[in-house]
Structure 1
Amino acid sequence: MTNRSLTLAVAAGIAAATIPITAASAAPTACAAGISAEINTELTERFGTYADTAGRWTGADSAYSVDLPDGSTAWIYSDTFMGEVDENGGRPADSPFLHNSIIVDDGGTLTTYTGGTEAAPESLVKVAGADETQRWYWFGDATVENGMLRVMLLEFIKTGTGVFDFKFTGNAVATLDPADMSLLSVTDLPDSTINWGSAIYEDPEDGYTYVFGVEDNQAQKYAHLARVPTGSLTTESWEYFSAGEWTADSAASSRILEGVSNEFSVSRFQGRFTLVTGDATEPLSAKIVMYRSADITGPYTGKTELYTTPETGGNVFTYNAKAHPNLGDADTLVISYNVNSFNSDDLYADAGLYRPRYINVDAQLRRGR
């Protein structure tokens, strides 16, 4: 496995060196009673055609989405392949590779934003003065405040020459102008061992923006929760949920749910707070599940399987499933998930492999359940 492929794997929060790849191919769907799932053909065809023909963005992971003030939608990506897809549907070996990018979808017209130039693209947001082979940002969830796009940043640093020698070092927030995605500022957040930005929920009732994070112990992952007055993600002090209370001490943040992936979503759906995630209670799981709660702080219970990813098996794995409440409706969760391979050759042989997948999950749940 190359360093590049390993970086993609570790983004999924999977210790590739210690987990055998033995999973069999999964069925297309495996849903609980009252739930059905199907491929979202509109998003699949839109992004697939763009990736294959635009000569720009050919695939990425992460895939958060946020509506912009002009009505368009920003898709927020971490590791990204640029360049062209060749006549055999593969990627050339010299395809540019970035750690983050954004695509803006304006009524079906897609535009990719990166740093650098079109001929020599670079990550959209880079650690100031750093060599990106040694220090970089991956993107977390995003929101719009005061007309500006705020994107959560997770900073990683290389710690040695080995492929596993890098670690999470801190959190920050990027502020970008949504008109052209130009970077206006990067605001560092207080030191924390939590990867903040796994999900963002803005509560219109209590005036807070809630930011979920992950305590990533590789085999075990736990969700944590912070909040800040809405509109002040970068200007006010955060509070952290700690055993039923809110505290200013980031080190006191407590676990609210075990078994989440590094990226997930939290939204109001059919009367309950609904957390959608890949099932991280088992290694290399093909399952996408949801948990529900009457309160933003939990407890999140009633684990329900929504979908089983058909791609999972052999060297291929799926990860970081999340819902996009800005795209769904009262009875439908629009969910994306990422696809990757532990064999880096696969990512070049088949450009369509390393791209998000999109599904619609229709749920008829009891209100208030």
Structure 2
Amino acid sequence: MKKQRHAFLDLNVTLLLIMLAIFISCSNSNEKRLAPKNTSLTELKFTVREADSWSNLFKRTSGWFGGDGIFTIPLNGIDSSESDSAGETLVLFSDSLIGEINNGKLDSPFVMVNNSVAWMEGHEPGKSNISFHWAENEKNAPQSLFIPNTPNSKPGEYFWLGDGFANQEKNNDIYLFGYRVITTGEEAFNFKEVGNALIVIPSGSKPPFKSQRQLDTPFYIEGTPESTGSFGAAILVNTKDAGAFSPDGYLYVYGVRGQRKEVMVARVKPGDIEKFHLWRFWDGADWQSDMHKAASIADRASNELSVSQLGDGRYAMIFQMDGIASTVGMRLSHSPEGPFGPIITIWDASADLSEGKQLISYNAKAHPNLSKPGELLISYNINSFDFFADVEESPNFYRPRFILLEIEE
């Protein structure tokens, strides 16, 4: 009887050891797959070139012919280069121009709306794959798709759009940030943010999104020019279902603060996005509940940017250096909250600014779901300090330009 008992115990021990060995083997294999192949935060081997087919996709002569913003939301929720190439993408624009262009000149007065969208089928930049949409008022005149209608909003406010995502934990409803903005009447930058909102579009909705919901959030920081900020500048969905390489189950939401364009980050589980008391903010050492203690994880960024994980495990922040400049920059990190390394210059947009006397470039960002493995498709906006004069002279200047970053092994 004792021999049988010892044999039974020996068998159990053997099975446990085998299971432990398998677990360790799988864990080690997993660690090797997820660990960064390159731990440097200062170097990345890459080449970069113009992505003319994408830039030309937005050079249009009828209907929508200009806009900025250019956030892209994969409607299946997979925001990586592994995304289904046949999927649909919602493209968000802020200020948008609608009208007709004939022989390179405006054929009639144009209309500016504060936001619009494009609907893309698949991931190829073909003009038959994309359609542009805006709302219309009772007189069939173009109108913004998203107009502030929250308890805190006031007449005359309008939305500039931040980043968004399809929330797989909330029925694939689309969540996007809207900055409530007012016109100030000042000469140079005659606008001011006064609040931050979440706009929720039910899954399956099509423009003009009449069933949208809007929620005031507490994620606008009002203060001095050095401390004023807001969240929604970029979103990283770091979940397995979203295609993340190193998923931890969190949604990371980035914000920008002050004249130095400091980047902040918050996180929350996607299913808890509307439970604002559960949001946590990185203070440089830990995640805590006080938004005002959010640390600067980078600076010299732009008010719109992106954070994406590269195939080697590192995270790449893409932005326009100092907000408005010809330089598209990148910083690298080992984690979504940083620390991020020094700026790596990846593109000079000066050639695009030669089309007009007062043109500017701004708000560069990457579009992982429209990229192929080993690549990052990046856009940046072109605008003008003499906007209306330049639109009359060259109406197609106000549109995104694209570059393709190809990462070398």
TM-score normalised per structure 1: 0.81
Flag the 1:163–1:331 CA change in 2: closer, same or farther, 3 A: closer
Quote the Cα distance in structure 2 between the aligned partners of 1:322 and 1:162: 28
Partner deviation per Cα, 1:22-43 (whole Å, 9 max, x = no partner): xxxxxxxxxx984222222332
Match of 1:103 in 2: 118
Equivalent of 1:68 in 75, 81, 84: 75
CA apart distance, 1:235: 3.8
For 2:118, the aligned partner's letter is I
Quote the Cα distance in structure 2 between the aligned partners of 1:284 and 1:221: 11
- Per chain length, whose mean CA-contact separation is higher, i.e. which structure has more relative contact order (CA < 8 Å, sep 6+)? 1
Between the two proteins, the alignment pairs up a number of residues equal to 324
Query: Secondary structure in 1 aligned to 2:402?
Result: strand
Equivalent of 1:179 in 186, 192, 205: 205
- Does residue 192 of structure 2 align to residue 167 of structure 1? yes
Q: Which has the higher strand share?
A: 1
Quote the Cα distance in structure 1 between the aligned partners of 2:347 and 2:219: 36
For 2:237, the aligned partner's letter is E
Query: Secondary structure in 1 aligned to 2:73?
Result: strand
Equivalent positions of 1:178-217 (< 5 A) are 178-181=204-207, 182=209, 183-190=211-218, 192-193=220-221, 194-204=229-239, 205-217=247-259
Equivalent of 2:97 in 77, 81, 91: 81
- Does residue 370 of structure 2 align to residue 348 of structure 1? no
Q: Is the 8 A contact 2:305 2:319 kept in 1?
A: yes
Equivalent of 1:47 in 53, 58, 81: 58
Match of 1:9 in 2: none
Q: Is the 8 A contact 1:154 1:196 kept in 2?
A: no
Q: Is the 8 A contact 1:92 1:348 kept in 2?
A: no
CA apart distance, 1:116: 2.0
Compare 308-317 and 250-259 and name the one that shifted more. 308-317
Compare 340-349 and 293-302 and name the one that shifted more. 340-349
Query: Secondary structure in 2 aligned to 1:346?
Result: helix
Task: Report the aligned-residue RMSD.
Answer: 2.3
Match of 1:112 in 2: 132
Flag the 1:95–1:250 CA change in 2: closer, same or farther, 3 A: same
Compare 35-44 and 137-146 and name the one that shifted more. 35-44
State the identity as a percent: 28
Quote the Cα distance in structure 1 between the aligned partners of 2:96 and 2:142: 11
Equivalent positions of 1:1-369 (< 5 A) are 34-48=45-59, 51-52=60-61, 55-69=62-76, 71-85=87-101, 87-91=102-106, 94-107=109-122, 108=126, 109-117=129-137, 119-128=140-149, 134-145=156-167, 146-159=171-184, 164-177=189-202, 178-181=204-207, 182=209, 183-190=211-218, 192-193=220-221, 194-204=229-239, 205-217=247-259, 220-236=260-276, 237-269=278-310, 270-280=312-322, 284-309=324-349, 310-312=351-353, 314-344=357-387, 345-364=389-408
Q: Is the 8 A contact 1:37 1:359 kept in 2?
A: yes
Gaps of 5+ in 1: 1-31
Gaps of 5+ in 2: 1-42, 77-85, 222-228, 240-246
CA apart distance, 1:91: 3.1
For 1:209, the aligned partner's letter is L
**Largest Rg, 1 or 2:** 2
Flag the 1:284–1:248 CA change in 2: closer, same or farther, 3 A: closer
CA apart distance, 1:224: 0.5
Query: Secondary structure in 2 aligned to 1:196?
Result: strand
TM-score normalised per structure 2: 0.74
Quote the Cα distance in structure 1 between the aligned partners of 2:405 and 2:113: 31
Flag the 1:238–1:47 CA change in 2: closer, same or farther, 3 A: same
Quote the Cα distance in structure 2 between the aligned partners of 1:131 and 1:241: 32
For 1:201, the aligned partner's letter is L
CA apart distance, 1:92: 5.0
For 1:250, the aligned partner's letter is M
